Amino acid sequence: MTKTLRIECTQLPHGEGMPLPAYETSGAAGMDLMAATPQGEDIVLAPGERRLIPTGLSIAVPEGYEAQIRPRSGLALRHGISIVNAPGTVDSDYRGEVSILLINLGQAPFTIRRGERVGQMVISAFVQAEWQVVTSLDETARGAGGYGSTGTGGAD
């Protein structure tokens, strides 16, 4: 059974009239986020260009949770559109607009229109770490094997 969490939000003036993020299927972990660009003012992302895309939404994530902003797989596959800092994090103490830092990794310009689904948001619980300095760490089978060493029998 899926748990639900109430999250307060406000729609900013440029986001008024747009639907709130919603789950598209009963098993979805992410809610689609839409571009809240002014009507008729499309944003064209040239190949290699990155832009901060407004959603017109501010949220109050409860303490102990974060909102992760992730790319949409279909945009990545079809157009090479991704998020520069994926996943982005909206902390529980942030109250500004949720924006998405898109980048065009494709070979053609990509047009973003008002209401276009440009990212997805996943709400996730987290814990905060407390550091403890020790003189040595416990031994593991992997040890200090570096990048790419998992399952190879040694460091690459």
- What's the burial of 21, exposed, middle or buried (CB within 10 Å: 0-12/13-18/19+)? buried
- Coil, strand, or helix at residue 38? coil
Distance CA 94, CA 13 (A): 19
- What's the burial of 150, exposed, middle or buried (CB within 10 Å: 0-12/13-18/19+)? exposed
Angle, alpha carbons 101-20-100 (nearest 5°): 0
From first to last of its 156 residues, the chain has per-residue pLDDT tens of 678 899 999 999 999 999 999 999 999 999 999 999 988 899 999 999 999 999 999 999 999 999 999 999 999 999 999 999 999 999 999 999 999 999 999 999 999 999 999 999 999 999 999 999 999 999 988 888 777 777 665 544
Report pTM.
0.85
Tell me how long the chain is: 156
Distance CA 57, CA 53 (A): 11
| CATH placement of domain 8-125 | 2.70.40.10
Give the list of residues 6+ apart from residue 77 with CB closer than 8 angstroms, or none.
none
First to last CA, the chain: 42
Neighbouring C-alpha atoms within 13 Å toward the C-beta of 54: 20
The gap from C-alpha 105 to its chain's centroid, in whole angstroms, comes to 17
Find the helix or strand (DSSP H, E) in which 75 lies.
helix 73-79
Q: Where are the domains of the chain?
A: 8-125
